[in-house]
Amino acid sequence: MAKETTEAIDETLQSDADCADNFSDELTDLQREARAKLKTRVRELTDAAGDEPGAFSARPTTKELGNGREPEDPAIIYSSNKAPVGPPWHYDITPDEAAAKQQKKEQRALKRQKMKKNALDKTPQKLKNPSGLQVRFRTGLVYTLVTIACVFAGNIPTMIYLMVVAGICAGEFYYMLRSDSKLPNEMLGIAGAVLFIPAVYFGGLAGGMLVALVLLIALLIWYVFWLRARIQDVSVSFLGAAYTGLLLSGLMIIRASVEPPWGGLVLFLLFLSVWANDAFAYFVGSKIGKHKLAPRTSPKKSWEGFLAGLVGSMLVWVVMSFVPSVNLDIPTALLFGLICGLLEVLGDLAESRIKRNSGFKDSGTIMPGHGGLLDRCDSLFLASVSAAFLLILGGCIPYDVF
């Protein structure tokens, strides 16, 4: 009985093996047939395209059918030599649209030149042809005065100021990433960056989480229904809003948590710690800096300037320990100043890495002598949120997390 069972099993296995061999042979024949058809089709397309390299024919797309083309119309010959200049997302514009776009670009350039000429004509002679350092100083002075005025004016002016800063920085962030072959949704990203500030001010952390959730859902809807969007475009769009708006919300938490009139002073000292870090690092690094901190990311930064910047940040935090309504002793202030100083440098290097990857020297031109507003605020983002967490978790300022 056992012998018969064994023979039956052997016959079954042999039968299965024969079936597998036959299936393998059939699959091989199908593969050969498919390759032959593919070669034939490629030969037909090449002959139909003529001698022009890179050309091919295709049936009309849904968009082309909506513009008046019929399925039975002759196939369109596409050629890489006739492709418009620019990234692939510019390929669907017509020659008339391209000409109109170029005309608008030239008109904007002429308008900017006219505005610059009018401003230069009204400038006193002694202020014309300034040096690079003078331009940098004047621009920085205007930025500093506007910041101080808004910070000391009250919670609402501070909120409006931070909303404007977040919106401009988000726009510059997306502008650089577009040049790096990304397609962020600038409208949703800038709106999210701006709305993070009032949401955190009026609703606390729950308000910030609500804006983040709504922004994420809106980006996913955009991703589902706009077929050109890629998942990395959704990520970049959300990152830009969180990087510029959500991180700056830490300043709003601090401003609202410290009782008047000391909230404005604490916020000013936080700005001053960032400025002191930059100033100490710049002057010390330019004088005695020899050892490069991150030569591939930011070649001008040195370890000497880095250490000097940390000292400047820590000194300002020591001054903050003497502000009433802030429960902060000097050793804790030195520790918090060191942590914030390290994160300020990290934020600066992160923005430098973004610019280097995107091929930009400056994030914008809104601040002559400095570049873009993002160039001035890159150290502020991580410093603001880290300062808020340190002051709250350290029991230095009152704030209900939940």
Q: Reduce the secondary structure of the chain to three states and give it as a string.
A: CHHHHHHHHHHHHHHHHHHHHHHHHHHHHHHHHHHHHHHHHHHHHHHHHCCCCCEEEECCCHHHHHCCCCCCCCCEEEEHHHCCCCCHHHCCCCHHHHHHHHHHHHHHHHHHHHHHHHHHHHCCHHHCCCCHHHHHHHHHHHHHHHHHHHHHHCHHHHHHHHHHHHHHHHHHHHHHHHCCCCCCCHHHHHHHHHHHHHHHHHHHHHHHHHHHHHHHHHHHHHHHHCCCCCHHHHHHHHHHHHHHHHHHHHHHHHHHHCCCCHHHHHHHHHHHHHHHHHHHHHHHHHHHCCCEEECCCEEEEEHHHHHHHHHHHHHHHHHHCCCCCCCCCHHHHHHHHHHHHHHHHHHHHHHHHHHHHHCCCCCCCCECCCECHHHHHHHHHHHHHHHHHHHHHCCCCCCCCC
In a domain, 147, yes or no: yes
In a domain, 21, yes or no: no
Domain identity same for 79 and 138: no
Determine the average pLDDT of the residues in 216-233: 90
Domain identity same for 160 and 297: yes
CA torsion angle for 175, 180, 182, 185 (degrees, to 10)? -10
Domain identity same for 314 and 377: yes
In a domain, 338, yes or no: yes
- Tokens 């006739």 belong to which residue? 82
Q: Please answer whether residues 170 and 222 qualify as being in contact, where contact means their C-beta atoms are separated by less than 8 angstroms.
A: no
What tokens does 238 get? 């959300």
Determine the average pLDDT of the residues in 302-323: 92
Domain identity same for 314 and 184: yes
Q: Please answer whether residues 313 and 337 qualify as being in contact, where contact means their C-beta atoms are separated by less than 8 angstroms.
A: yes
Q: Which of 245, 244, 221 is nearest to 234 (CA)?
A: 221
- Tokens 């980006």 belong to which residue? 219
Q: How many domains does the chain have?
A: 2
Of residues 207 and 363, the one with the higher pLDDT is 207
Domain identity same for 78 and 144: no
Residue at 128: amino acid letter: K
Domain identity same for 61 and 186: no
Domain identity same for 60 and 175: no
Of residues 43 and 81, the one with the higher pLDDT is 43
**Residue 161: CB atoms within 10 Å:** 18
Residues contacting 337, CB < 8 A, separation 6+: 273, 310, 313, 314, 315, 316, 317, 318
311 phi/psi in degrees, rounded to 5:
-65, -45
- Please give the share of the chain, as a percent, with pLDDT higher than 90: 36
Q: Is the pLDDT of residue 220 over 80?
A: yes
Domain identity same for 182 and 285: yes
Residue at 157: amino acid letter: P
Domain identity same for 75 and 195: no
Chain segment 244-296, per-residue pLDDT in tens: 999 999 999 999 888 888 889 999 999 999 999 988 988 888 888 788 888 87
In a domain, 265, yes or no: yes
- Tokens 């704030």 belong to which residue? 399
**Integer Rg of the chain from CA:** 31
84 phi/psi in degrees, rounded to 5:
-65, 160
Q: How confident is the model at residue 2 (pLDDT cuts 50, 70, 90)?
A: very low
Chain segment 104-129, per-residue pLDDT in tens: 888 888 888 888 777 767 666 655 55
Q: Specify which residues 58 forms β-bridges with.
A: 76
Domain identity same for 66 and 198: no
Determine the average pLDDT of the residues in 66-81: 56
**Residue-range definition of the domain harbouring residue 327:** 134-393
CA–CA separation, 352 vs 26, rounded Å? 58
Q: Please answer whether residues 193 and 201 qualify as being in contact, where contact means their C-beta atoms are separated by less than 8 angstroms.
A: no
**Alpha carbon distances (Å) from 126 to 1, 118, 129, 130, 272:** 115, 17, 8, 9, 31
In a domain, 6, yes or no: no
Q: Please answer whether residues 61 and 75 qualify as being in contact, where contact means their C-beta atoms are separated by less than 8 angstroms.
A: no
Give the per-residue pLDDT at 17: 52
Determine the average pLDDT of the residues in 321-333: 90
Q: Please answer whether residues 267 and 150 qualify as being in contact, where contact means their C-beta atoms are separated by less than 8 angstroms.
A: no
Domain identity same for 70 and 143: no
* CA 161 from centroid of its chain's CA atoms: 20
In a domain, 111, yes or no: no
Q: How confident is the model at residue 68 (pLDDT cuts 50, 70, 90)?
A: low
In a domain, 113, yes or no: no
- Domain C-terminal end among 58, 92, 126: 92
Q: Which of 339, 340, 331, 333 is nearest to 384 (CA)?
A: 340
Give the per-residue pLDDT at 14: 57
Give the per-residue pLDDT at 360: 80
Domain identity same for 202 and 335: yes
Give the per-residue pLDDT at 191: 95
pTM metric for this prediction = 0.67
Dihedral angle sign, alpha carbons of residues 378, 132, 359, 85: positive
In a domain, 18, yes or no: no
